[in-house]
Amino acid sequence: MAENNTELAVIGAGPGGYAAAFAAADLGKEVTLIDPGENPGGVCLYRGCIPSKTLLHVARLIGEAREAKAWGVDFKEPKINLAKLRGFRDEVVAKLTGGLGRLVQQRKINYYQGSAVFSDNHTLQLDSTEGKTTRLSFENAIIATGSQPTHIPGLDPGSGRILDSTSALEIKSIPKKLLVIGGGYIGLELGCVYAALGSSITLVELTPQLLAGVDRDLVKILEKRLGDRFDQILLETRAKAIKEQKNGVRVTLSGPDKKKEQTRLFDGVLVAVGRQPRSDHLKLGNTAIEVDDRGFVKVDLFRRTAEKHIFAIGDVAGQPMLAHKASHEGRIAAEIIAGRKAAYEPAAVPAVVFTDPEIAWAGLTETDAKNSGIDYQTTRFPWAASGRAATLGRSDGLTKMIVDPHSERILGIGIAGSSAGEMIAEAVLAIEMGTNITDLGLTIHPHPTLSETVKEAAEIFHGLAPHVYRPRRSRKKNR
């Protein structure tokens, strides 16, 4: 068995792993980056964020073409060429991952295409995709192995009719009737893609609302629009029994009234019930590293594990399981390894659901504030009063803020509407900088843009918004 050594071994080349490797290399460290992919990118670029957003762009284009009839522009019903659509998706993925491969070379990072397990707390066993085994000793290591779809026991996601978030993005076919199990962001985004491509969507969610934990007033805007695009949305409903057969998948659905169970036949089932950390294959038992009961690697404020020279970042290190959070953690870990002072302590981590309309939020949600007993006030600006939203035919949005009633600092911002994901970065900056609502209201925003809804939501707080009449009110606190 060949033996090598490195200053820093990074296990996993997703958005967290390659960000950490690149940052460490830029800071003068010798880095070995380990991943099964031909190039860096991980699940996000190869089988997640990027291919899904590529397909969601196509879905939105199809939706806008159909809606344009109301504006006086009548397009013919689109013809879907799945082979070309897959080709477009693959072209985007290849361009981005190939670019990362060139950056690896430019930074002189040792890229090992394969997998890694811990032999002990300073040694990895590397198994290449070509079947070769190597021992790698390291001074520091970063675990960035990400997550994988959670599966329902007894269901095979590789069967063709049963899909998970990975196989659904392959779009090998368009089921006429598709059952989506799970009303989180993955189920909703992929449901929107397949609905646009022609599937009749039935979505079931076990909880009383879609996107559990997200503020209800934001979710209602999406829910109303999906009501026109999905065949059915069944809340407080579970797939009690699922049986694959020659002519489809027979599913028994159990709702709030358990006496009225229904059995239906679908052409396909998409299981989107969440993701789980990829930590069980690393042989962490050969180290002192600890995991919790859900499989997340335990880390401290600096992303260190119980082995102080080994760090963990991204999905494998806990919620929120978001690519940009992983990238930020990766940089923090790299700086600490390089001897700099750093810690993971963001005031806000933005989240975006890339449906149509999009939902985005950062900082404290109203739901969190209520559950935690925090004093707060809300201010809302309806997009029905936005000139830019009117020109887009998208007046169904809402911009809201959660405000500390004493300091008037902005605690959180939520947006539901077209391009909400592009707008939320201003909210993150405002929260990180401790901005108060007067500052935001006095900040000049370009006209006509959707970003003005942020300014006007701030102005409403003082009863000064030009496009909404709201009598000045006393500062009544919410709890």
Do 265 and 169 fall into the same domain? Answer: yes
User: Which residue in the block uniquely carries the two structure tokens 């600092």?
Assistant: 409
Do 300 and 362 fall into the same domain? Answer: no
Do 38 and 144 fall into the same domain? Answer: yes
Among 285, 304, 337, where does a domain finish? 337
Say if 466 falls within a structural domain. Answer: no
Query: Which are the contacts of 371, defined by CB distance < 8 A and separation ≥ 6?
Result: none
What does the angle CA 414 – CA 415 – CA 418 come to, to the nearest 5 degrees? Answer: 165
CA–CA distance, 147 with 122 (Å, rounded to integer): 24
Say if 154 falls within a structural domain. Answer: no
Task: Assess contact for 454 and 423: CB atoms under 8 A.
Answer: yes
Say if 134 falls within a structural domain. Answer: yes
| 3-state SS, residue 450 | coil
Section 59-84 average pLDDT: 92
- Pure H helices in 27-115: 42-47, 49-67, 82-106
Task: Assess contact for 275 and 314: CB atoms under 8 A.
Answer: no
Say if 469 falls within a structural domain. Answer: no
**First and final CA of the chain: distance in angstroms?**
63
Do 439 and 361 fall into the same domain? Answer: yes
Say if 284 falls within a structural domain. Answer: yes
Q: Is the pLDDT of residue 247 over 80?
A: yes
The pLDDT of residue 154: 72
Do 21 and 121 fall into the same domain? Answer: yes
- How many Cα atoms are found within 13 Å in the side-chain-facing hemisphere of 479? 1
Residues 337-382 have pLDDT tens digits of 999 999 999 999 999 999 999 999 999 999 999 999 999 999 999 9
DSSP secondary structure letters along 105-128: HHTT-EEEEEEEEEEETTEEEEEE
The pLDDT of residue 473: 53
Domains held by the chain: number: 3
Task: Assess contact for 316 and 278: CB atoms under 8 A.
Answer: yes
Do 280 and 268 fall into the same domain? Answer: no
What does the angle CA 94 – CA 85 – CA 359 come to, to the nearest 5 degrees? Answer: 85
What CATH number does the domain containing 59 carry? Answer: 3.50.50.60
409 residue type, one letter: R
Do 9 and 145 fall into the same domain? Answer: yes
Q: Is 447 a catalytic residue?
A: yes
Among 313, 337, 361, where does a domain finish? 337
What CATH number does the domain containing 389 carry? Answer: 3.30.390.30
Q: Poorest-confidence range of 138-142, 245-249, 287-291? A: 245-249
Task: Assess contact for 186 and 166: CB atoms under 8 A.
Answer: no
Among 57, 281, 309, 447, the one annotated catalytic: 447
**pTM, whole model, 2 decimals?**
0.93
Do 170 and 259 fall into the same domain? Answer: yes
Do 304 and 233 fall into the same domain? Answer: no
The pLDDT of residue 2: 67
**pLDDT confidence band for 248 (50 / 70 / 90):** very high
Among 284, 309, 337, where does a domain finish? 337
What does the angle CA 97 – CA 169 – CA 267 come to, to the nearest 5 degrees? Answer: 170
Do 268 and 280 fall into the same domain? Answer: no
Nearest to 60 by CA among 172, 195, 180, 185: 195
**pLDDT confidence band for 466 (50 / 70 / 90):** confident
**pLDDT confidence band for 158 (50 / 70 / 90):** low
Instruction: Put residue 339 in one of left, alpha, beta given phi > 0 → left and psi -120 to 50 → alpha.
Output: left
Residues 292-331 have pLDDT tens digits of 999 999 999 999 999 999 999 999 999 999 999 999 999 9
Average pLDDT score, the chain? 94
CA torsion angle for 48, 54, 56, 58 (degrees, to 10)?
-150
Instruction: Locate 297 and state its tokens.
Output: 């690697």
Q: Is the pLDDT of residue 414 over 80?
A: yes
The pLDDT of residue 15: 97
Q: Is the pLDDT of residue 181 over 70?
A: yes
**Domain, as residue range, for 36:** 2-149+276-337
DSSP secondary structure letters along 247-305: TEEEEEEE-SSGGG-EEEEESEEEE-S-EEE--TTS-GGGSS--B-TTSPBP--TTSB-
Do 215 and 187 fall into the same domain? Answer: yes
Say if 229 falls within a structural domain. Answer: yes
Say if 396 falls within a structural domain. Answer: yes
Do 186 and 285 fall into the same domain? Answer: no
